[in-house]
């Protein structure tokens, strides 16, 4: 069975990064938690592409699809959702910061749990612009809205994608 490029790169990063002052058990727990986060991230990413497939299916099934709503307030909704998509960067940073500084002990398990929770929350928030685009497409039938916001979600995913080296550096920083 052939490995994908991302799997090979992840394995290479995991081999080069090790928890410097931690034990092998901590390193394996960190890798297992990171792998779970990657699986959740893959599921969230798949949801984005399911939205894209649904948009294309609707577009091909209904050749003159003009949306389900023709309301006077639609331009205001469009503006609001575009602004929300732009503010997602600040929302991600705020949510991650709140998770990192949550009260509780600063032991290894707690830090790994916070890292996992922060990365999953950031991936969910990064996917929101795609769903905003889906809402706008279903209301107006305009593909441009969907694909602009879908592209913005992909850019956010590239920026906030979980990285093992980041996890290791945060663990090392908290242990010293």
H, E, C per residue of the chain: CCCCHHHHHHHHHHHHCCCCCCCHHHHHHHHHHHHHHHHHHHHHHHHHHHHHHHHHHHHHHCCCCCCCCCCCCHHHHHHHHHHHHHHHHHHHHHHHHHHHCCCCCCCHHHHHHHHHHHHHHHHHHHHHHHHHHHHHHHHHCCHHHHHHHHHHHHHHHHHHCCCHHHHHHHHHHHHC
* Residue 152 vs residue 103, higher pLDDT: 152
* pLDDT of 93 higher than 80: yes
Higher pLDDT, 78 or 11: 78
pLDDT of residue 118: 94
Within 10 angstroms of residue 4's Cβ, the number of other Cβ atoms is: 8
What is d(CA 115, CA 7) in angstroms, rounded to the nearest whole number? Answer: 20
Q: Residue 144's pLDDT band (boundaries 50, 70, 90)?
A: very high
Q: How many CA atoms lie within 13 A of 109 on its CB side?
A: 2
The pLDDT value given to residue 100? 86
Quote the pLDDT of residue 23: 66
Asked if the model's pLDDT at residue 51 lies above 80, the reply is yes
């Amino acid at each position: 069975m052939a490995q994908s490029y991302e799997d090979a790169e992840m394995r290479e990063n995991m081999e080069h990064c090790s928890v410097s002052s931690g034990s092998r058990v901590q390193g394996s727990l960190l890798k297992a938690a990171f792998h779970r986060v990657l699986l959740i991230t893959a599921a969230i990413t798949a949801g984005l592409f399911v939205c894209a497939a649904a948009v294309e299916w609707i577009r091909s099934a209904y050749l003159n699809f003009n949306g389900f709503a023709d309301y006077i307030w639609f331009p205001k909704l469009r503006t609001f959702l575009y602004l929300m998509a732009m503010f997602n960067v600040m929302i991600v940073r705020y949510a991650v910061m709140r998770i990192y500084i949550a009260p509780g002990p600063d032991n290894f398990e707690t830090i790994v749990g916070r890292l996992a929770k922060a990365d999953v929350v950031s991936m969910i928030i990064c996917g929101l612009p795609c769903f905003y685009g889906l809402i706008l497409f279903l209301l107006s039938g305009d593909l441009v809205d969907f694909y602009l916001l879908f592209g913005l979600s992909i850019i956010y995913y590239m920026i906030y994608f979980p990285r093992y080296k980041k996890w290791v550096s945060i663990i090392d920083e908290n242990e010293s």
